[in-house]
Amino acid sequence: MIKRKVATIVFYDDNSFIIQDRREISKWGEDYGFFGGAIEQNETPEQAITREIKEELNLEIKDFQLFKSDVKFTKELHGNVERNVFISKMPNQSDLHVTEGNIKLIPRENISPLKMVDGDLDLLREINNYLNKS
């Protein structure tokens, strides 16, 4: 049974990722996470990520792609989460106006020590491997 459906995004360039610093707003003890959130009823993942990024970063995104959709059991929710993960080239950081958490610029070669919710660090590694091969 799916407990939650989410749409998240990872912004990248050749050297870095932008992720969300969640230390001040953490719900499950994580330090870092992805921007995005719950998919509302009758909303597509693409509509959800567009809305969430407008809400969280005051940014209108148009150029993004689906990296992966999967269902993952998360210990934090004690159930399955449908994850729709998008990737996008990094926007100009001066265009970002964070309303939830903070922005964290992470070097792509140094993601291993990040404290994230169950499965997110593995997902970030998977995205990094994909980008390295592209």
Highest mean pLDDT among 33-37, 94-98, 99-103: 33-37
From 14, 44, 25, 28, select the one nearest 98 (Cα to Cα).
Answer: 25
**Domain spans in the chain, listed from the N-terminal domain onward:** 2-133
Q: What is the distance between the alpha carbons of residues 62 and 89, in angstroms, rounded to a whole number?
A: 11
Query: What integer is the mean pLDDT of 51-58?
Result: 95
Query: What integer is the mean pLDDT of 74-96?
Result: 88
* Reduced DSSP (H G I as helix, E B as strand, rest coil) percent helix, strand, coil of the chain, to 5: 20, 35, 40
pLDDT score of 29 = 85
Task: Name the token pair of 81.
Answer: 């989460």
pLDDT score of 93 = 87
| 2-133: CATH number | 3.90.79.10
Q: Is the pLDDT of residue 109 over 80?
A: yes
pLDDT score of 103 = 93
115-129 pLDDT, tens digit per residue, is 998 789 999 999 999
Taking a C-beta distance cutoff of 8 angstroms, is the pair 7, 35 a contact? no
